Amino acid sequence: GEKEKLNMKQADMRGTKEKPETSEDGDDEEEVNNDGEVRPELLSPEELEKLKEAVDEKKKLIQSLRGKPWPMKQKLVTLRESQLFVEKYEGALGKGKGRKLYAYKVMMTKKWMKFQRDFENFKIACIPWEMKIKEIESHFGSSVASYFIFLRWMYGINMILFGLTFGLVMVPEALMGRAYGSIPRKTVPRAEEAGAMDFAVLWDFGGYAQYSVLFYGYYNNQRAIGWFKFRMPLSYFLVGVGTVAYSYMVVIRTMARNANESGIGDDNSFNFSWKMFTSWDYLIGNPETADNKFASITTSFKEAILEEQESRKDDNIHLTRFLRVLANFLVLCCLAGSGYLIYFVVRRSQKFALDGLENHSWWERNEVNMVMSLLGMFCPMLFDVISTLENYHPRVALQWQLGRIFALFLGNLYTFIIALMDAINLKRKEEKVVKYNITMWEATLYNGTGSENSTAPPITIHPADVPRGPCWETMVGQEFVRLIISDTMTTYITLLIGDFLRAVLVRFLNHCWCWDLEAGFPSYSEFDVSGNVLGLIFNQGMIWMGAFYAPCLPALNLLRLHVSMYLQCWAVMCCNVPQERVFKASGSNNFYMAMLLVILFLSTLPAIYTIVTIPPSFDCGPFSGKNRMFDVIQETLESDFPAWFSKVFSYASNPGLVLPFILLMVLAIYYLQSTSKSYKEANVELKKKLQMVIQRLDNF
pLDDT per residue as tens digits for the range 110-161 = 888 888 888 888 888 788 888 888 888 777 777 788 889 989 999 999 999 9
- What does the alpha-carbon distance between residue 422 and residue 351 come to, in Å, rounded to a whole number? 12
Which residue from 59, 43, 71 is spatially nearest to 106, judged by alpha carbons?
59
The more confident residue out of 511 and 393 is: 511
The single-letter code of the amino acid at 669 is I
- Please report, in angstroms and rounded to a whole number, the separation of the first and last CA atoms in the chain: 40
pLDDT of 5 > 70? The answer is: no
3-state secondary structure of 576: strand
Percent of the chain with pLDDT over 90: 11
Which residue from 572, 492, 500 is spatially nearest to 135, judged by alpha carbons?
572
Identify the pLDDT of residue 543.
92
- What does the alpha-carbon distance between residue 202 and residue 195 come to, in Å, rounded to a whole number? 9
pLDDT of 688 > 50? The answer is: yes
CB 251 within 8 A of CB 593: yes
Residues sharing a CB contact under 8 Å with residue 388, sequence separation 6 or more, in sequence order = none
pLDDT of 35 > 50? The answer is: no
Percent of the chain with pLDDT over 70: 81
- What does the alpha-carbon distance between residue 221 and residue 622 come to, in Å, rounded to a whole number? 4
pLDDT of 185 > 90? The answer is: no
pLDDT band at 244 (very low <50, low <70, confident <90, very high): very high
Rounded to an integer, the average pLDDT of 663-678 is 87
* Gyration radius of the chain's alpha carbons: 36
Identify the pLDDT of residue 161.
94
Strands 525-526, 576-577: pairing is: parallel
Residues sharing a CB contact under 8 Å with residue 463, sequence separation 6 or more, in sequence order = 181, 182, 183, 184, 186, 187
Strands 576-577, 28-29: pairing is: unpaired
CB 477 within 8 A of CB 210: no
pLDDT of 283 > 70? The answer is: no
CB 321 within 8 A of CB 600: no
- What does the alpha-carbon distance between residue 337 and residue 378 come to, in Å, rounded to a whole number? 13
Rounded to an integer, the average pLDDT of 447-472 is 68
- The pLDDT tens digits for 587-598 are 456 777 888 888
Query: Which segment, 351-360, 384-393, 547-556, is predicted with the most confidence on average?
Result: 547-556
Strands 28-29, 21-22: pairing is: antiparallel
Residues sharing a CB contact under 8 Å with residue 424, sequence separation 6 or more, in sequence order = 472, 475, 476, 610, 614
- The pLDDT tens digits for 302-337 are 767 766 666 666 556 777 778 888 888 888 888 888
- The pLDDT tens digits for 203-233 are 888 889 889 999 999 998 888 888 888 899 9
The more confident residue out of 351 and 222 is: 222
What average pLDDT does the chain have?
Answer: 78
